[in-house]
Every structure is written in structure tokens, then in C-alpha cells.
Structure 1
Amino acid sequence: MLPTLLIITAPPTSRLAFHAFQLAQAMQQSSQSFTVFFYQDAVHVANQDLWRSDDEINLTRQWQSLNIPLPVCVSAALNRGISDTENATRHHLSHANLAQGFQLIGLGTLAEAIQTSGHILQF
């Protein structure tokens, strides 16, 4: 069976972003095959420098807890001030702030995931 692709575009403060995580968690617990891709405003979840109060859900930590690949659109991330070490050096940025477990990748990887997915859900 082909995996389900979860394309997450909603910012981490959105209920949709939380629902995407809940679905991924449920799919993992039931051993269903899935992949995720963070795009547009959803890339903010990969910013390790965002502060969240203790009474808020920390989606960055939640996603990290799944121990799955967490691909993030490199262009969307850089446009929103999120960078890994390699891109920070290349683009002369002051520092990298990509949270552990997340990876900056190009849209080619998303296109490949779309081609090999049985279902696509966007949040």
C-alpha cells in the first residue's frame, strides 16, 4: 500500500497544524505508512528559537517525538528566517535556527513524494 502524504501549510498556532500532528501520531500508532512535508507558514514549526509558554502545545517537540523524517521546504523556511548551518553560511546569515530533527529540502522531494503517495492530505 502506498503511503499517505501529509502536506502541512498551516502555521503552528493553527488548530489545523495540531490536527495534522494528531493524525500523524494516530497513523504511526496504527503502523500506517505516511510521510510529511512542511510548506508555507507551517515551516515556523522548525524554528528552534520560537518561544512557547508552558501552557501551550509545543508542536516542534511533538513532531520531534515521532522520530520520523521532518522535511521542510528550504525556500519557504529561508523566506521566513529559518536556516540550517549550511544555508546560514551560504547566505551570510547570523546563525542557524533549524530545530533538531527537521531537514531543509527542495520542492523536488515534495514532487517525488506526491508521485509515490496513495493519498495526499493538506492541512
Structure 2
Amino acid sequence: MQITMAGRGCLISHLGFRADARRLEAQTNLLSNPSFEEPYSNGAAQGWGRWHEEAAKVADCAGRYSVQPKWGPEFNGAIILDGARSQAVGNQFDTWRGGVVQDVAVTAGTTYRFSAGLASHLE
């Protein structure tokens, strides 16, 4: 299974972020490249970094494990919420934990709202 980060963002990372249109008028998007547009570097959209957690595979498959996923641009327009691209992260056969991340400056005591759009598909 591959997870595609699609859409536009409002504040935080890991998947595609889509801000509530009714609230956009009063908000400023704090993300850089919230639609995950090109260029991509090492599989991550400009302004985004990759993250993942690995856990070794046990020989008898008795325990949980996870491998490094693959990162890259998504080209399937049917699942892209905003812009020409979105972020794809996934692995076809093994379990994985990972995504994309971006640091955002925030102010203590301020309330922030974020939302995300996701799509998944088998390749």
C-alpha cells in the first residue's frame, strides 16, 4: 500500500494538508510548499524533510518490524487535491512507518488549526 500526501496544508506535516475553506480568510498558512509541488529532493517535496522509524525483521516473523518506505512525487491527478503534485510515501510489501516533516515557527499560547487530506492505493 502506498499513502499519498495530497492537497494543501495549514500548519503541520506528514500528509497532505487541506485547510477548511471557510476558515482560510482569517488564517495564514504557515507551511512552506503545502501542496507538495516540485522540485523534489531525495523523494521529498521542496521545503519538506523525510522521516521514518525502522525496526528489524525477526527471523521467524514473530515480532513487529518496519522498513524504510519510498518517497516521491504523486502524479495521479485523481487523488491530488491541490496543485500539480502531491507527496507519495509507501512500501508495497513490508510494513513501514514514515512520512514527511516540516518545522513551523509558532507562538506560545496561540491556538493553531490544521487539517490533512489522505489517499491510499495499491500499486
Fold shared per TM-score above 0.5: no
Say which structure is richer in helix: 1
Q: TM-score, normalised by structure 2?
A: 0.26
Say which structure is richer in strand: 2
